[in-house]
Structure 1
């Protein structure tokens, strides 16, 4: 059929778009160095233009979009990631587990500095991951570690083999997200092709499939959990949400937001049921509190299942040293590391102006407090009783966290992008395009000054904040269909 002249004539433009996309992805995967910023930006911009037009042309043909999603990802199968070194640590951790060594208890450098090589290709892995990664304890949760161990099981002596296994796991998760994302969109009476703004986005294909970041696996469990929650399978949803947390800790920030979903939504559902049955007499006394009490019971049960499942998944790695090492490593992201930040960089400059030195240690302690206060405000003072309202709230909460964070790696935006698919907001889609500017920090890798170019970072965030402010504060509200 594909070689049929009539078919080729009628679909000439879509076929050309697909062919050029695969060609550009191939160049990106096998013939790009991250310090070649002109080539990086040109390829990325071209892929985004192609992606936008592919969605517009095929939005009523989700089968074709699915085939393209698979084809674009397949292009990367044998590629070694070229924009990130993290995968070397993934492989190290997985092989440590197969050797019966708890990866949370030892740094890579603690072995190499003593001339010990506990895993195959130890020196090559150490050189690949770099000094920073090798000198810190691992911070990847247990389901993430399970993925690393699976790669080690099938390719214990080949870096490329491990990369292929890790990539197949991430691709499988992406298609799981596609499956449950479409089902959730159908339930919400939203266009099902919206999921392809995530699945076919060059940012997602490059950062997750290409660079092997496991946000994709976390997102799969998160979307699955939201779908289960919508169809009222909240116990199973809690288990799946715990799996998401056990890939990346990010979904922990969403937990307070479920308060209104379980408590106030249960009250409204009961009132509607009473109205339909014409039993809507004025409730007095204890009876009017019964729905709220039932909702609170579900909420406590939901939290209990999430907590118990998460603890159970961490249990095989438990020790007093693990707790100490893990908390210290997580704290580094708030009080030590700096990359592609926005409001934090402004606060840092104010600190330099008045104190004369970097105030990250202080700012890093204040930021979590601000985030907690914002989450509580969104929990109790914003209506989150419908699916779209809940997901919109999740999007805004996570955006606030990233806006105030000291470190915002490009792949972090993936979670914002998937949440936006179910809402009216498009600023994460814009961010997924301009986030490529953060890679220009690597221009200075071979220079004495390795710091980021703050003008470039400013350009990125001016675009993002402009769209964000327009959509959240200035744009006239439009009615969003929801189930």
Structure 2
């Protein structure tokens, strides 16, 4: 009680934010762009006030974070329709179908309704989603199946089950992230830069994107890697990949973690690295075995390929290259550019792998942060919820530009204020301009400080 008296501002901010979350969850639709942005900016103002004080007891922070999430418990997502496909996939598994080789569109067009509320779910997901094979990995599918198992006849009921899973995953991220920060001699309350972030609460808990489940396994894996429990870490990374594929990008970056100590290469540790990678790859394959069929590889790879060949949303450098293509060739270059940008990402990851000291945890986390950022800066499709991984990684580094991006990315929703939806590239330009300016400011600042520290060390050593 004395704490609340001394920190009444924190309580008022939390109460005001709760009211805003309620209005966002129950009285806002994504076509109301002005209302969406206004509430969003007010919530981020409250987020700044809540997180600028680092001496607030952890249990108060955690209680506030959980309460904010529980406000959304009985809502239907209002910024995304992907959850309808989640429910569809889960109920298909429940009914004995393989979701990886079944197209919702075919069932509906044939007048065949294999699951409860099939027409409602298909209408909710949209014809575009329903015309493509699912690309959600097996552990993600397990979450969908649990929702079908516990609520097979209610869309809202299934949404509640999935939301509980996501909230529990966030609590898991808190548990292992808090411990990892303590092990790294960092302020453990930095984990609340993730847990209290309005973007995380609205996009993940509110809109039922399963990044928290992926990040739960991944943060748990990083905690064990830092504790040198690398075998358990390998299994957890495989589980993380089988929720969302993004952690696959990080695999090369572990190279020097195993075979480099200080500035010396220890080739006798190479066997551990090979076993580490083998566990991840074999476990990831094993989790697909229950769904294996002759059509699985073709349908899954085709679905993944669509993100590089067909979809465009909230892109950065890709839009610049697209405009250049229009000028010289007169048509969209996504088929060509979509093949080039993954190659550029691989080359950048190779640079980070072999030219950064990734045997140090903070350097490893920083390489992951910038490697994934490079991919997002060059991709053809940058959905808002992808940012969650960058936010978690930033907590273990000196960089905070993903937090700025999480505030600015709401500008991408301006596209949904139009019917049919259409992007205004000026909003996209402002979003990325602010992000790039802040990121380069941070890079310059930390480079200068790093150089100054090196100079001071040289003076102390007499060099």
The structure-2 alpha-carbon separation of the partners of 1:211 and 1:340, relative to structure 1 and needing over 3 Å to count, comes to same
The structure-2 alpha-carbon separation of the partners of 1:424 and 1:7, relative to structure 1 and needing over 3 Å to count, comes to closer
Aligned match of 2:431: 460
Return the offset for 1:9.
Answer: 4.2
The separation in 1 between residues aligned to 2:108 and 2:187, in whole angstroms, is 53
2:101 is the counterpart of 1:105: yes
The separation in 1 between residues aligned to 2:449 and 2:217, in whole angstroms, is 30
Q: Does structure 2 conserve the Cα–Cα contact (< 8 Å) formed by 1:224 and 1:237?
A: yes
2:91 maps to which of 95, 101, 110: 95
Equivalent residues in 2 for 1:244-263, closer than 5 Å? 244-263=240-259
In the TM superposition, structure 1's runs of 4+ consecutive aligned residues that sit over 3 Å from their partners are: 6-11, 57-60, 473-481
2:407 is the counterpart of 1:433: yes
SS of the aligned residue for 2:266 comes to helix
Return the offset for 1:62.
Answer: 1.2
2:198 maps to which of 197, 202, 206: 202
Q: Deviations over 1:258-309 (max 9, x none)?
A: 00100113xx39x7xxxxxxxxxxxxxxxxxxx7233211100100000111
1:347 maps to which of 301, 314, 321: 321
2:144 is the counterpart of 1:173: no
2:443 is the counterpart of 1:469: no
Aligned match of 1:395: 369
TM-score after normalising by structure 1? 0.91
Q: Deviations over 1:322-346 (max 9, x none)?
A: 1000000100111110000000000
The structure-2 alpha-carbon separation of the partners of 1:192 and 1:178, relative to structure 1 and needing over 3 Å to count, comes to same
Q: Deviations over 1:182-224 (max 9, x none)?
A: 1110111011111100011000000110000001111111111
The separation in 1 between residues aligned to 2:298 and 2:154, in whole angstroms, is 32
Q: Does structure 2 conserve the Cα–Cα contact (< 8 Å) formed by 1:214 and 1:247?
A: yes
Return the offset for 1:380.
Answer: 0.8
Aligned match of 1:276: none
2:378 is the counterpart of 1:409: no
2:99 is the counterpart of 1:125: no
2:306 is the counterpart of 1:335: no
2:229 is the counterpart of 1:233: yes
Q: Does structure 2 conserve the Cα–Cα contact (< 8 Å) formed by 1:257 and 1:390?
A: yes
The separation in 2 between residues aligned to 1:78 and 1:37, in whole angstroms, is 23
The separation in 2 between residues aligned to 1:213 and 1:317, in whole angstroms, is 22
The structure-2 alpha-carbon separation of the partners of 1:474 and 1:18, relative to structure 1 and needing over 3 Å to count, comes to closer
The separation in 2 between residues aligned to 1:475 and 1:243, in whole angstroms, is 34
Equivalent residues in 2 for 1:16-55, closer than 5 Å? 16-55=12-51
Q: Does structure 2 conserve the Cα–Cα contact (< 8 Å) formed by 1:14 and 1:57?
A: no
The structure-2 alpha-carbon separation of the partners of 1:11 and 1:264, relative to structure 1 and needing over 3 Å to count, comes to closer
Aligned match of 2:131: 135
2:65 is the counterpart of 1:69: yes
What is the CA RMSD across the aligned residues, in angstroms?
1.6
The structure-2 alpha-carbon separation of the partners of 1:244 and 1:7, relative to structure 1 and needing over 3 Å to count, comes to closer
SS of the aligned residue for 1:162 comes to helix
The structure-2 alpha-carbon separation of the partners of 1:200 and 1:314, relative to structure 1 and needing over 3 Å to count, comes to same
Q: Does structure 2 conserve the Cα–Cα contact (< 8 Å) formed by 1:58 and 1:64?
A: no
2:273 is the counterpart of 1:299: yes
The separation in 1 between residues aligned to 2:94 and 2:391, in whole angstroms, is 35
The separation in 1 between residues aligned to 2:94 and 2:129, in whole angstroms, is 20
1:159 maps to which of 132, 155, 160: 155
Indicate the structure (1 or 2) with the bigger Cα radius of gyration: 1
Equivalent residues in 2 for 1:359-398, closer than 5 Å? 359-398=333-372
Q: Deviations over 1:47-105 (max 9, x none)?
A: 01111111224643111000001110010000110000000000000000011100000
Return the offset for 1:479.
Answer: 5.9
Return the offset for 1:12.
Answer: 2.5
Return the offset for 1:118.
Answer: 0.4
Structure 1 unaligned residues grouped into runs of 5+: 272-290
The structure-2 alpha-carbon separation of the partners of 1:7 and 1:238, relative to structure 1 and needing over 3 Å to count, comes to closer
The separation in 1 between residues aligned to 2:335 and 2:7, in whole angstroms, is 58
Aligned match of 1:283: none
Return the offset for 1:387.
Answer: 0.5
Q: Does structure 2 conserve the Cα–Cα contact (< 8 Å) formed by 1:58 and 1:65?
A: no
The separation in 1 between residues aligned to 2:268 and 2:155, in whole angstroms, is 52
SS of the aligned residue for 1:77 comes to coil
TM-score after normalising by structure 2? 0.95
Structure 2 unaligned residues grouped into runs of 5+: 454-463
